[in-house]
Amino acid sequence: MNEAFKNDLNAESDLNAENDFNSKGADNLSETIAYVETPESETAANRYEGAINVTSTAVETVAQQPYEAQKQIYRDEVSTDKRQFESEKRFEDENRYSQAYQDNHHSNGNNNGGATPPKKHRSFNFKTVLSFVLILTLIGGSTYSIGYYQGQISLNESAIETSVQQILSKNIDSEIYRSVVNYMDDNGTDVSSATANVAQIYANVGNSVVGITSKLKYYDWFNNERFTEGAGSGVIIKDEADKYYIVTNYHVVDGATEVLVEIATDQMIDSKLIGYDQDADIAVLSINKTDIPVELADNVRAINIGDSSKLLVGEPAIAIGNPLGYNNTVTAGVVSAIDRKVGDDSNTTYIQTDAAINPGNSGGALVNKKGELIGINTAKITDTTVEGMGFAIPVNIFMPIVAEIIENGYVAKPYIGIGGVDISQEASDLYEVPVGVLVRYIYENSPAASSTLKEMDVIIAFDGEKVNTMDELTSFINSHKPGDKITLTVVRDNKEKLMVNITLGDKNKTE
């Protein structure tokens, strides 16, 4: 008789007694022991002990081995011995016990009516069953957890890989090209207009430039509602979670009742006007990403922003826009001049280029040799009598305006609320009035209307700085912020000099 098995059986009987399962098992313990000392039961005992040892080893392995080893051991050993053990449990069937007893009795010469086999009672091995269930639960739970988390890891890795590939396919060409040009610049290798890869630059930034169609409503002589359309260009300058922001010229969308954005040929989507700065001729639109067709979503991207303060005359300049409605037209040239003042607009400086900028190019991109945005093209100030003279608003001028529009919906503009006329030196000598700005109008509800300033006063100084023209006065005002307190020195009735204190208002907020 296997002593380990007998001890285990006795231990099980003790456990059954503690749990009220001993009423039959304890009374017939001697009979059960008598049976299990047969060859068949000895074999079953050995296999039972083997199963117990294997399951014990499996439990230790679960705590010590890596997940894959646990699963392999469980599949190859525990499951197999579990099936063997369950097969041997059929010996507990009473008929098999009787048959085993009779075979044993005959083998000992008791063929002529030997002793009646003792009455066998089915033993309920509660400890064994409970232990086995706990082992299966532990191993099965571990296996399930392993499989679950491996599945999650696999899914996460797949999602990450997909995202990485999308990012790479969307930006890798542009970044590589910029890196190469930066390397050449750092090593003193000039990228001239002749060697700039315009085709590659367009491939990198073309999807950042869009067409703009503005619809304007008007009424004819018979009061019938009519619509007309205007065309321009725009540049995607910012990418947010649910939308893209587009910069264009204000005159492209001025008065429009509806503005459509063409992100690809014949692919028009609605846009929203976020705000504008009429003085700077800048407007900002937004488009929702959900409105972009799925097949085009990966192509649309925001352009890289350059630094217009680093421009050099003669370096490559590429213009991309929508001239005369021909979307994504590319022209190339050089930076002809920087800080150029055009016409009567002395408060804004422009980039001059010989890259062709035609009607419809307004709001399009002017990019450098790296494919970075350096300006917004404006055709409003081109002259049809000349060729090779295009102008663009520098990126360093309009980007702070764009940022303010995105944040607040408008650009804060300080003002005092007057209409003035310059008094030149000639006029001063003729009319014996001081040189300065004559106040002709004071607008209602303006900061000037709330002060002691009066019409026909002559403004001669701003915070102690001499003022000769309206442009100078405007420049002084624009150097401050709404809410700032300033002091004007004025001459009234050509006799007395007065100091007038004014708190600057916000022109755009008032409107």
Task: Give me the pLDDT at residue 315, please.
Answer: 93
What is d(CA 367, CA 371) in angstroms, rounded to the nearest whole number?
5
Query: Whats the size of the chain, residue-wise?
Result: 511
Per-residue pLDDT of the chain (511 residues; tens, 9 = 90+): 445 444 444 444 444 444 443 444 444 444 444 444 445 545 555 554 554 554 455 545 544 544 455 455 545 554 555 555 555 554 454 454 445 445 544 444 444 444 444 444 454 455 555 555 555 555 555 555 455 445 554 555 566 556 555 554 555 555 555 555 565 555 555 545 445 688 888 988 989 999 999 998 888 888 888 888 888 999 999 999 999 999 999 999 998 999 999 998 888 999 999 999 988 999 999 999 999 999 998 889 999 999 999 999 999 999 999 887 788 899 999 999 999 888 766 568 899 999 988 888 889 999 999 999 999 998 666 566 667 788 999 999 999 999 999 999 999 999 999 999 999 999 999 988 999 999 999 999 999 999 999 999 999 999 999 999 998 999 899 999 999 999 999 999 988 999 999 999 998 875 5
* Residues 500 and 461 sit within 8 Å (Cβ to Cβ): no
Q: Phi first, then psi: what are they for 232, rounded to 5°?
A: -160, -165
What is d(CA 235, CA 248) in angstroms, rounded to the nearest whole number?
7
429 is known as an active-site residue: no
pTM: 0.60
Q: State the catalytic residue, choosing from 123, 214, 251, 457.
A: 251
Task: Give me the pLDDT at residue 508, please.
Answer: 81
What is d(CA 490, CA 504) in angstroms, rounded to the nearest whole number?
17
Cβ neighbour number for residue 415 with a 10 Å cutoff:
19
Task: Give me the pLDDT at residue 269, please.
Answer: 94
Cα 453 from chain centroid? 52
> Going by C-beta distance under 8 Å and a sequence separation of 6 or more, which residues neighbour residue 70?
61, 62, 139, 142, 143, 146
Task: Give me the pLDDT at residue 190, please.
Answer: 53
362 is known as an active-site residue: yes
Delineate the domains of the chain, giving CATH numbers in brackets.
3-151 (no CATH), 199-408 (2.40.10.120), 414-510 (2.30.42.10)
Q: State the catalytic residue, choosing from 41, 214, 233, 362.
A: 362
Nearest Cα neighbor of 252 from 226, 234, 279, 270 is: 234
Helix spans in 93-191 (H): 94-107, 126-186
Q: Rounded to whole angstroms, what are the CA distances from 457 to 55, 91, 502?
A: 104, 121, 15
251 is known as an active-site residue: yes
Q: State the catalytic residue, choosing from 81, 277, 281, 457.
A: 281
